[in-house]
Amino acid sequence: MIMSSNVSESWLIVGIAVAVGVLLGVAVSLGWRWYRQFRERQRRRRRIEAVAVDHLRDVALPDGSGGLLHVDYLLLTAHGLIILDVRDIVGNVFGSDPMVEWIVMQGARRFTFANPQGAMYDRIAALKTLADDVPIDGRIVFGPGAKFPKGSPRLTLREESLEAEFPLGERSQAEQLVEIWRGVWDRLRVQLAPS
């Protein structure tokens, strides 16, 4: 009877040790995934901020008819105001200006999403009603996991191409250039609520 009790206790200890090991492994795996995503978000934020004198993130833009449009990033740059719609898509993206839906292929997996250019044109038009004569542009920014094997549609941009598309140049010079738009920018900072 004593021997049976010792064997049971040994198996219980082994079972608990295995369970703790599995839980620890899951926790480390989840922690590592979170850390990688956090690092990726920080890298993206630095890359986006590198092309702007100032920026707003995750704001609601009035659409002019009582609704709101979400804006991932609104940048004040030497080129004017730039709206960025950031997409975290992994796979081969097949899209063009006239296509209603774009296709993403990830190995054997395939899915579609609505052509994001129409929504970008809506955001640009809505911002033009608030921004006086400040030049306005917009881009749908795809992260490093997206590939465009047939070429990129008009308003799309690879995240790593941001600085080439919208070079900031010397920061002090850029700050002087945007000074003429500072009043509009300050007004936008107040008008555009966080979404």
Are 35 and 7 contained in the same domain? yes
Are 80 and 168 contained in the same domain? yes
Q: pLDDT tens across 93-107, in order?
A: 999 999 999 999 998
Domain containing 25: what range? Answer: 1-49
- Mean pLDDT score, 169-184: 93
Say how far apart CA 1 and CA 64 lie, in whole Å: 82
Are 7 and 99 contained in the same domain? no
Are 100 and 176 contained in the same domain? yes
Q: DSSP letter string over 102-132?
A: EEEEETTEEEEEE-THHHHHHHHHHHHTTST
Are 63 and 35 contained in the same domain? no
Beta bridge partners of 140: 85, 156
Are 65 and 39 contained in the same domain? no
The pair of structure tokens assigned to 140 is 């749908």
Are 65 and 15 contained in the same domain? no
pLDDT of 135 > 90? The answer is yes
* Number of domains forming the structure of the chain: 2
Q: pLDDT tens across 43-68, in order?
A: 878 888 889 999 999 999 998 899 99
The model's confidence at residue 169, banded by pLDDT at 50, 70 and 90, is confident
Q: pLDDT tens across 151-166, in order?
A: 999 999 999 999 999 9
Are 63 and 41 contained in the same domain? no
Are 31 and 76 contained in the same domain? no
